[in-house]
Amino acid sequence: MEPGRVVVIAVLMLAVYVCFSFMGGRKGRIRLYVLSLIVALCLFGAGVAQLTGLVGVVEMLNVACITLSLAALVSTPPLWEEQLRDDLEHARVYQSMRLRDFASWRGWLKLVDRIGARKATLVYFSVFVLGVVVQVFVFGLAQPDLQPFVLLALLAPFLFAALSALWIYRGVRRVMPGA
């Protein structure tokens, strides 16, 4: 079996695990922030891989992006709030931002403290929208006849971005009153 197919199968198994771990509002072992980060990186990575002609990598990244975003949609808004609350307990929002803060919700909570919940949520959502736009643009250049299928496939990450931004905004307004 090709290595790319093995990676795709592993990603699908991870997505099934994520989906079942979040069903029923359970906390799960994989943090929602990590899933958000993976989906965003896969969106941009697939665009770069398409530009460089790495078709196998594009397929793997797109499968990861789509399946993990669909799997994360099973999570509930209270779960997002709970994870934000857990990271807020360990965050010192008044300190300067560090690179390691962006391995959890702490960096985002510091951003909320500085610019407010609405603007920070807009930044979060804009990253995903930019990733989707990059994907559509790059695939439109590479394979114009597949454009409708690309748009349909990118509906999952866009839906994930919209709902997670809404849930994050709701959660941060409850966790950090006045933000």
Mean pLDDT of 7-12: 83
Sign of CA dihedral 91, 97, 98, 102: positive
Report pLDDT for 158.
93
pLDDT tens, position by position, 110-166 = 888 888 889 999 999 999 999 999 888 887 776 766 667 677 778 899 999 999 999
- Mean pLDDT to the nearest integer, 94-123: 82
> Taken in order 93, 82, 76, 73, is the CA torsion positive or negative?
positive
Confidence (pLDDT) at 147? 64
Residue 37 has pLDDT above 70, yes or no: yes
Domain-by-domain residue ranges, the chain?
3-175
Tell whether the model's pLDDT for residue 19 goes beyond 70. Answer: yes
What one-character DSSP code corresponds to residue 96? P
Instruction: State residue 28's pLDDT score.
Output: 65
What end-to-end distance do the CA atoms of the chain give, in Å? 51
Distances (CA, A) of 171 to 26, 69, 118, 123, 162: 17, 19, 12, 16, 14
